């Protein structure tokens, strides 16, 4: 999709002009908010975060043939920084992922998925 | 992953599983609180938007003293209105004139002044915008429907984690004596990134 298709050129009032969805999916909003909150809780400096995210995004070169979306990189970077800070080990995350996967499979379609711990 | 989908049960994608795993872990460790996440998302999506930035620009148009303070120390001038950055970023205001048009991009990490502009639009984070805005700003502006006179210089500002820019668009003609509130309605988010201009007053009347 080109930029001009993404942005409708019709000017809109500040109150309701959004330029389309800011987040492509709810998980993107979730990981964004978790990053801000983890920063506020003192897990990392914002400067450190910018460096890790920048390094992650730089893997795509200039990004012109990027295979991953912006928030895919964001999520990779978030896992990286939490690992580096000793907050989230890859084994812990792997176990939790498996637990969530089991919970989803045990949940009838349409029901909220809950993790029983 | 199995390809014979069983639609009786729920399924989460790999990426959703990763995000949920992180949320569970960070919640259990006490770093985050899920309702606070909802509140933050809601705030950025609906409450902040670009309204804060529009108020800053409108005040700068209407009040010469505020204008001077904004150009001198944007962080402090924006904080006067009660808008302070979550990440403690330093704000710089750059003003459009007949000679110079300013445009903001982040070539690496898409830093964005959330406090004044809300959440970044999808395209701001897109790789094509990030790479092309620097190489071919006039071409990118044309795609946004903005064509500037040949003699207007285009200055592209690369924001960083430490410094973020707010473009002050040119005040449209025919708005003498307007209140700050009414002026703010002319200030679009794109005009504060530099990928647009402030609205034409006649368009506002049509829309009203």
Please provide the DSSP assignment of A35-74 as one string: HHHHHHTTSS-HHHHHHHHHHHHHTTTTSTT-SS-HHHHH
Q: What is the pLDDT of residues B73-92, one digit of tens each?
A: 999 999 898 887 655 568 99
Tell if the CB–CB gap between B12 and A100 is shorter than 8 Å.
yes
Instruction: Find, in chain B, the residue whose alpha carbon is nearest to that of A115.
Output: B24
User: Which of B156, B91, A116 is closest to B80 using CA atoms?
Assistant: B91
What ipTM does this complex have? Answer: 0.78
Closest partner residue to A60 (CB to CB) among B19, B89, B127 is B127
User: What residue spans define the domains of chain A?
Assistant: 23-86, 89-117
User: What residue spans define the domains of chain B?
Assistant: 14-46, 50-207
- Identify the CATH class of B50-207: alpha beta
> Are residues B111 and B159 in contact, defined by beta-carbon separation less than 8 angstroms?
yes
Other CB atoms within 10 A of residue B67 CB: 18
- The 10 Å CB-count burial string (b at 16+, else e) for B100-120 is ebbbbbbbbbbbbbbbbbbbb
Write out chain A residues lying below 8 Å of B184, CB-based.
14
Query: Between A and B, how many residue pairs show a Cβ–Cβ distance under 8 A?
Result: 210
| Distance from C-alpha of B72 to C-alpha of B187, rounded to nearest angstrom | 21
pLDDT band per the 50, 70, 90 thresholds, residue A47: confident
Handedness of CA B182, B188, B194, B197 (dihedral sign): negative
Q: What pLDDT does B45 receive?
A: 62
Catalytic residue among B10, B13, B106, B179: B106
pLDDT band per the 50, 70, 90 thresholds, residue A16: very low
Please provide the DSSP assignment of chain B as one string: --SS--TTB----HHHHHHHHHHHHHHHTTS--HHHHHHHHHIIIIIITTHHHHHHHHHHHH-HHHHHHHHH-HHHHHHHTT---TT-PEEEEEE--SSEEEEEE-SSS----HHHH-SPPGGGGSHHHHHHHHH-HHHHHHHTT----TT-EEEEEE--SSEEEEEEPPPPTT-TT--HHHHHTT--HHHHHTSS-PPPHHHHHHH-
Question: What is the token pair recorded at B166?
Answer: 């707010």
Q: What pLDDT does B2 receive?
A: 41
> Are residues B187 and B116 in contact, defined by beta-carbon separation less than 8 angstroms?
no
* Best residue of A16, A33, A47 to probe chain B, by most B CBs closer than 10 Å: A33
Closest CA–CA distance from residue B154 to any residue of chain A (Å):
19
Instruction: Find, in chain B, the residue whose alpha carbon is nearest to that of A52.
Output: B109
Q: What is the pLDDT of residues B165-203, one digit of tens each?
A: 999 999 999 999 999 999 999 998 899 999 999 999 987
Q: What is the pLDDT of residues B120-146, one digit of tens each?
A: 776 786 777 878 888 999 999 998 899
Say if residue A64's pLDDT is above 60: no
3-state secondary structure of A30: helix
* Mean pLDDT lowest among B61-75, B104-118, B119-133: B104-118
Most confident of A1-5, B35-39, B75-79, B114-118: B75-79
Q: Is B109 a catalytic residue?
A: yes
3-state secondary structure of A8: coil
């Amino acid at each position: 999709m080109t930029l001009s298709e993404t942005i409708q050129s019709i000017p809109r009032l500040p109150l309701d002009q959004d330029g389309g969805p800011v987040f492509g999916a709810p998980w993107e909003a979730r990981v964004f908010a978790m990053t801000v909150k983890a920063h506020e809780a003192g897990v990392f400096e914002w400067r450190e975060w910018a460096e890790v995210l920048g390094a992650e995004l730089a893997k795509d070169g200039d990004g012109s043939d990027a295979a991953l979306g912006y928030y895919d990189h964001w999520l990779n970077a978030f896992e990286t920084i939490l690992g580096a800070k000793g907050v989230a080990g890859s084994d812990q995350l792997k176990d939790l992922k498996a637990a969530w996967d089991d919970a989803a499979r045990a949940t009838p379609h349409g029901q909220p998925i809950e993790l029983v711990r | 992953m199995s390809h014979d989908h069983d639609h009786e049960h729920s399924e989460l994608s790999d990426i959703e599983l990763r995000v949920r795993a992180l949320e569970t872990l960070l919640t259990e460790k006490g770093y985050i609180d899920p309702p606070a996440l909802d509140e933050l998302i809601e705030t950025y999506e609906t409450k902040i938007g670009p309204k804060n930035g529009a108020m800053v620009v409108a005040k700068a148009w209407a009040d010469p003293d505020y204008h001077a303070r904004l150009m001198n120390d944007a962080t402090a001038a924006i904080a006067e209105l009660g808008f302070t950055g979550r990440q403690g970023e330093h704000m710089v205001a750059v003003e459009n004139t007949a000679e110079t048009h300013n445009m903001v991009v982040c070539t690496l990490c898409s830093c964005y002044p959330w406090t004044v502009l809300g959440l970044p639009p999808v395209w701001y984070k897109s790789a094509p915008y990030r790479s092309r805005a620097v190489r071919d700003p006039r071409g990118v502006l044309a795609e946004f429907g903005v064509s500037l006179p040949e003699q207007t210089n285009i200055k592209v500002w690369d924001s960083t984690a430490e410094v973020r820019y707010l473009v002050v668009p040119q005040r449209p003609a025919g708005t003498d004596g307007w209140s700050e509130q009414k002026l703010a309605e002319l200030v679009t988010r794109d005009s504060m990134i530099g990928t647009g201009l402030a609205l034409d007053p006649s368009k506002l009347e049509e829309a009203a």
